Amino acid sequence: MKRTRIAVIGGGAIGRTHAVAIRACAVTDLAGIVDPFETGKALATEMECPHFSKIEDLPKDIDGAIIATPNALHVPQATTLIGAGIPVLVEKPLGENAAACADLVALSERTGVPGLVGHHRRHNLIVQAAKEAIDLGRFGTLVSGTIMASLYKPDSYFDVAWRRDKGAGGPILINLIHEIDLVRHLFGEITEVFALSSNRQRGFDVEDTASVLLKLADGGLVTVSLTDAGVGPWCWDTTAGENPARFPAMPAVSHMFSGTQAGMSLPDLAFWTHEGARDWTVAQGNHPLRAPAEDSYVEQIRHFAAVITGDEAPRIALADGAANIAVIEAIRRALAENRPARIDPLPQNAASELKAMME
pLDDT of residue 261: 98
Residue 288: which pLDDT band, with cuts at 50, 70 and 90?
very high
Residue pLDDT, tens place only, 26-49: 999 999 999 999 999 999 999 999
Q: 125-293 architecture in CATH?
A: 2-Layer Sandwich (3.30)
Pick from 119, 114, 113: which is nearest to 94 by CA? Answer: 119
Q: What is the mean pLDDT of residues 332-345?
A: 92
Q: What angle do CA 89, 91, 97 make, to 5 degrees?
A: 110
Residue 219: which pLDDT band, with cuts at 50, 70 and 90?
very high
pLDDT of residue 351: 44
Residue 353: which pLDDT band, with cuts at 50, 70 and 90?
very low
The yes-or-no verdict on residue 359 having pLDDT over 50 is: no
Say if residues 123 and 182 touch (Cβ distance below 8 Å).
no
CA gap 18, 296 in Å, rounded: 11
Q: What is the mean pLDDT of residues 50-67?
A: 96
CA gap 298, 72 in Å, rounded: 26
**DSSP annotation of 230:** S
Residue pLDDT, tens place only, 80-91: 999 999 999 999
Residue 285: which pLDDT band, with cuts at 50, 70 and 90?
very high
pLDDT of residue 345: 66
Regarding predicted confidence, which is higher, 241 or 286? 286
pLDDT of residue 354: 46
pLDDT of residue 166: 81
**How does DSSP assign 277-297, residue by residue?**
SS-TTS-EEE---------HH
Residue pLDDT, tens place only, 182-209: 999 999 999 999 999 999 999 999 999 9
Q: What are phi and psi of 102, to 5 degrees?
A: -65, -40
Cα-based torsion angle of the residue sequence 89, 135, 289, 130 in order, rounded to the nearest 10 degrees? 30
pLDDT of residue 347: 53
pLDDT of residue 29: 97
Q: Range with the lowest mean pLDDT among 16-20, 218-222, 238-242, 265-269?
A: 238-242
pLDDT of residue 356: 47
Using CB atoms within 10 A of its CB, is residue 259 exposed (0-12), middle (13-18) or buried (19+)?
A: buried
pLDDT of residue 35: 96
> What's the mean per-residue pLDDT of the chain?
93
**Could you tell me which CATH number the domain at 4-119+297-315+345-358 has?**
3.40.50.720
Residue 167: which pLDDT band, with cuts at 50, 70 and 90?
confident
The yes-or-no verdict on residue 15 having pLDDT over 60 is: yes
Q: What is the mean pLDDT of residues 231-259?
A: 92
Give the CA diameter of the chain.
67
Each domain of the chain, given as residue ranges in start order, spans: 4-119+297-315+345-358, 125-293
The yes-or-no verdict on residue 352 having pLDDT over 60 is: no
Beta bridge partners of 147: 224, 255
Residue 92: which pLDDT band, with cuts at 50, 70 and 90?
very high
CA gap 60, 49 in Å, rounded: 16
